[in-house]
Amino acid sequence: MELHKEFFKQDTVKVAKALLGKIIQYKGTAGMIVETEAYKGSPDMASHAAKRTPRSAIMFDTFGKFYIYFVYGNYFCLNITTEEYKPGAVLIRALQPLEGIKIMKKRRGTKDVHNLTSGPGKLCQALGITKKLNGTEVNDKIKIYEPDNKLMKKLNDINKKNSLSLKPLSPSKLSPKFKIVAAERIGIKKAKHLKWRFYIKGNEFVSKK
DNA sequence: TCTCAGATCGTCT
DNA sequence: GACGATCTGAGAT
């Protein structure tokens, strides 16, 4: 069942947590969301949501829309805007591949399943998501939905075949220890000086730095 | 005009 | 695992 637009009206951190385990699908490729990151404005002043610019305005004005931006000259990052009256978005950081794995391998130029969607830039590349989808409504072109039993079975089959367990593939610096995480930045000035708050299975962990 | 980034990859230890 | 090189474009000055 597709997630209703109203789902994204909630608090950003709530949405980030709730998106874990959901399926994201675009043009014959799909994966289960295993790592998300909540972006709000204050007190995270290094977030795009901290300042309204032509690029980030979508985070201020909408919920339930895809915010896709180009970064480091090579990659795209996929976010979904949240909250009605406050700026916010959830970055999709990692997926577990589910459908269209052949296509993903081709696009990513690797045969390693663990390396297909284990990062925000990687997953956009694997799914063929580019800036042209920026601003589209959730479920217009890119679908997000709750997995049914059939899909879960398929996921388990893929896991068996590739010796994977139900865990995220992200080697992300964000979550070196923990698997299947939602995260929130709690520092204030520059991205590299930020602290992180992780949510794993209902528990909270705060990074040391 | 300048700076540098919500990332990735290859190379090194 | 740590680190440097790298790409383009948005935002700052």
Give the Cα separation of A155 and A100 in Å (integer).
12
- The C1' atom of B5 and the CA atom of A2 lie apart, in whole Å, by 34
CB A138 within 8 A of CB A19: no
Residue A186 has a pLDDT of 79
Residue A83 has a pLDDT of 95
Predicted TM-score (pTM) of this structure: 0.93
Q: Is the pLDDT of residue A208 over 80?
A: no
- The C1' atom of C7 and the CA atom of A121 lie apart, in whole Å, by 13
- Give pLDDT tens digits for A100-157: 999 999 999 998 888 999 999 999 999 999 999 999 999 999 999 999 999 888 888 8
3-state secondary structure of A186: coil
- The C1' atom of C12 and the CA atom of A51 lie apart, in whole Å, by 13
Residue A162 has a pLDDT of 77
A79 CB inside 7 Å of strand B:
yes
| Orientation of helix A120-127 relative to helix A101-108, angle to 10° | 120
- Give pLDDT tens digits for A42-100: 778 788 998 899 999 999 999 999 999 999 888 999 999 999 989 999 999 999 999 99
With CA of A77 and C1' of each nucleotide, the nearest comes out as B6
With CA of A176 and C1' of each nucleotide, the nearest comes out as C1
Using a 7 Å cut-off to protein CB atoms, list the covered nucleotides of chain B: 5-9
